[in-house]
Structure 1
Amino acid sequence: MYQWIVKLLELSTNLFTMYRWNNLPTIMRTNEAQNAFISAQFSLLMSELANLGGEKINEQNLLKRILLKELPKCVLSDISVDTKVLIKEFAPEKWDAVFSTAVEEVVSILPEKTKKDFSETILNARDESPEGRIITVADLLSAKLEAEIHSRFFPEFYEEPLRRLKETLKEFNDFQPYKALVNSDWFENYRRALIVLLSAVRWNRLNRNVKTTVAGHSFYVAISGFLLAYTENQNGNSVDLVEVVKRTLFHDIPESVTGDIITPTKKKVPGFEEVISRVEEHMVNQRIFDSMDSELVKKLKPRILDPFAGKEGEMVRSADLLAAIVECLMEIETGNNQPAFRSALNSMLDQLAKSEFSSVRFVSEDFKWGLRWMGR
């Protein structure tokens, strides 16, 4: 029943190993998972601002597009933006055919009742609807952020990409969600917080074969949470999918100001975890919420500072553990023999085995079976 989730999660690990701007010099290597996380942040912020401004955004539709549009990349592998632009110019019908084939390959993994929904979502991700325009703008802003970072050291290589990105963004100058975002007093502070998460490496005290950052990890958590919540709903267990995905995408934002404090450290002394929570709230209030409109703060604050509360919070916690398990598996499967990864993996699998969600229990058991099959 749930095997397709495992297959999609395996496919999605390609997002960690596909690097962007690979044909240009860079000062910070960013992969597709990191880029997708930044784009998702911009999309969510524009959506929240649009809703507060009276424009109704279909949030479930938007979130499905944000996550599923990345999956064909896992099949197509790395095609640079410049190359893609020329392919579309020289033979647009060939590009469309290639992309459709990639979508079909992704969809072939899915159960029959899910194929049409996912396929249509991917193919129409960037249409002219408000949701599609938000995603298009967010992708452009994410690429622009990366190009601006790299251009500080390599201006001659990024002058033309930046010019094109800025020119394309001008086409959206009258798009209200975009205007509201880039003209906000707090936007630059939020962008800086996201840059920190792009470079914050997880499991930093251990040598890694496949390094993941907080940004890339958070996007993978969002994919995991979406797939689990989607499946639970399909099988009659009502879970607020929108709430789950929003919390997964926001849950690591405090690490942009506190750094990555690992769970074992938080739990070393009774009461220390509560102190860390108070410190997080104080620093996030100062660095991120201080100049935000109070209505937007109300929307974001519980999802950033209390993401694991309630039923949806348990799903978010499961997705967070699942993403960490996949990171451990990537290390083990690529020959990293440090015992810390096996110890963490077994501990987290034991936690997930006790989950109230049948989808979570199945996935954890599938990973355990896979490890036994590999003799690990």
Structure 2
Amino acid sequence: MKTIFFPAVLGRMKHLPRWALMPNIRTENVHEHSMDVALIADLLCAIRNELFEGSVNAGEVVRAALYHDASEIFTGDVATPVKYANPEIKKCLKAAETEACTKLIDMLPDSIQAAYRDSFFPSQDIKELVKAADKLSGLTKCILERKLGNSEFGDAEESHHSWLRENCGHMHEVGYFVDHCIPAYESSLDKVLRR
């Protein structure tokens, strides 16, 4: 019987730190970040479908969100300033990510590889929702660090707000999330429990 390495290798996302170039008060790894992105993506889908008459398949979006950074098992979490330093670096990293995703899919039995291909290589519409959820997750991390007294994340917080304004202005669900959900990240647990 052939050993299937796919879940064991994905489990290694727990060992990949995020925000490695910045001092963190509360460390975060790629595994927990992926879960956070999936939760936010799921809510974005519900907001789009129920409040703005959308018809996106939440299951497909959530699966894509779960695996959106899986390639980092092989590439590591490359810092944003490095990743986007110039077009050639960005192109090379994209190629490495594609190769890493293909390698992960190849770890599955042939008969189920196709079931995962769309999760690792989603359509543009799904990719756009996952990217928005990814940036929202990054924004919530910045808010948490600021609340804990870490001023190092101030520029990153503003950068995430700017990116969301510039790239998601057409996505009503993102605006709704920013207006109605982001303020809750500023609240203490006691304040939340008193509601």
TM-score by length of 2: 0.82
Q: Letter of the aligned partner of 1:238 in structure 2?
A: S
Matched residues in 2 for 1:184 and 1:325: separation?
A: 42
Structure 1 residues 367 and 290, CA gap change in structure 2 (3 angstroms): closer
Whether 1:316 and 2:130 are equivalent positions in the alignment is yes
Secondary structure in structure 2 of the residue aligned to 1:201? coil
Whether 1:303 and 2:119 are equivalent positions in the alignment is yes
Secondary structure in structure 2 of the residue aligned to 1:353? helix
Which of residues 151, 159, 162 in structure 2 aligns to 1:337? 151
Contact 2:63–2:119, Cα closer than 8 Å, also in 1: yes
Contact 2:6–2:105, Cα closer than 8 Å, also in 1: no
Contact 1:353–1:360, Cα closer than 8 Å, also in 2: no
Unaligned runs of at least 5 residues, structure 1: 1-182
- The superposition leaves residues 9-49 of structure 1 with CA deviations (integer Å, 9 ceiling, x where unpaired) of xxxxxxxxxxxxxxxxxxxxxxxxxxxxxxxxxxxxxxxxx
State the percentage of identical aligned residues: 24
Which of residues 214, 221, 232 in structure 1 aligns to 2:30? 214
Whether 1:347 and 2:165 are equivalent positions in the alignment is no
Structure 1 residues 371 and 322, CA gap change in structure 2 (3 angstroms): closer
- Within 5 Å, give how 1:148-297 maps onto structure 2: 185-186=3-4, 189-235=5-51, 236-286=53-103, 288-297=104-113
- The superposition leaves residues 146-165 of structure 1 with CA deviations (integer Å, 9 ceiling, x where unpaired) of xxxxxxxxxxxxxxxxxxxx
Following TM superposition, by how much is the alpha carbon of 1:296 offset from its aligned partner in structure 2, in angstroms? Answer: 2.2
TM-score by length of 1: 0.45
Contact 2:33–2:137, Cα closer than 8 Å, also in 1: yes
- The superposition leaves residues 58-81 of structure 1 with CA deviations (integer Å, 9 ceiling, x where unpaired) of xxxxxxxxxxxxxxxxxxxxxxxx
Which of residues 146, 171, 183 in structure 2 aligns to 1:357? 171
- Within 5 Å, give how 1:127-138 maps onto structure 2: none
Matched residues in 2 for 1:324 and 1:258: separation?
A: 19
Secondary structure in structure 1 of the residue aligned to 2:28? coil
- Within 5 Å, give how 1:30-109 maps onto structure 2: none
Structure with the greater alpha carbon radius of gyration: 1
- The superposition leaves residues 67-122 of structure 1 with CA deviations (integer Å, 9 ceiling, x where unpaired) of xxxxxxxxxxxxxxxxxxxxxxxxxxxxxxxxxxxxxxxxxxxxxxxxxxxxxxxx
Query: Could you list the runs of 4 or more consecutive aligned residues of structure 1 that deviate by over 6 angstroms after TM superposition?
Result: 367-372
Q: Letter of the aligned partner of 1:282 in structure 2?
A: E
Following TM superposition, by how much is the alpha carbon of 1:266 offset from its aligned partner in structure 2, in angstroms? Answer: 1.5
Matched residues in 2 for 1:316 and 1:199: separation?
A: 22
Matched residues in 2 for 1:336 and 1:367: separation?
A: 22
Q: Letter of the aligned partner of 1:352 in structure 2?
A: L
Matched residues in 1 for 2:107 and 2:44: separation?
A: 35
Q: Letter of the aligned partner of 1:337 in structure 2?
A: S
Unaligned runs of at least 5 residues, structure 2: 187-195
Following TM superposition, by how much is the alpha carbon of 1:324 offset from its aligned partner in structure 2, in angstroms? Answer: 0.6
Q: Letter of the aligned partner of 2:32 in structure 1?
A: G
Matched residues in 1 for 2:80 and 2:93: separation?
A: 11
Following TM superposition, by how much is the alpha carbon of 1:204 offset from its aligned partner in structure 2, in angstroms? Answer: 1.0
Q: Letter of the aligned partner of 2:29 in structure 1?
A: T
Q: Letter of the aligned partner of 1:250 in structure 2?
A: Y
Q: Letter of the aligned partner of 1:199 in structure 2?
A: H
Q: Letter of the aligned partner of 1:312 in structure 2?
A: I
Following TM superposition, by how much is the alpha carbon of 1:201 offset from its aligned partner in structure 2, in angstroms? Answer: 1.1
Following TM superposition, by how much is the alpha carbon of 1:290 offset from its aligned partner in structure 2, in angstroms? Answer: 3.3
Matched residues in 1 for 2:162 and 2:105: separation?
A: 37
Contact 1:193–1:257, Cα closer than 8 Å, also in 2: no
Following TM superposition, by how much is the alpha carbon of 1:370 offset from its aligned partner in structure 2, in angstroms? Answer: 8.1
The aligned counterpart of 1:326 is 140
Following TM superposition, by how much is the alpha carbon of 1:322 offset from its aligned partner in structure 2, in angstroms? Answer: 0.5
Matched residues in 2 for 1:371 and 1:327: separation?
A: 9
Question: What is the aligned length?
Answer: 183
**How large is the Cα RMSD of the aligned pairs?**
2.4
Structure 1 residues 296 and 271, CA gap change in structure 2 (3 angstroms): farther
Secondary structure in structure 2 of the residue aligned to 1:271? helix
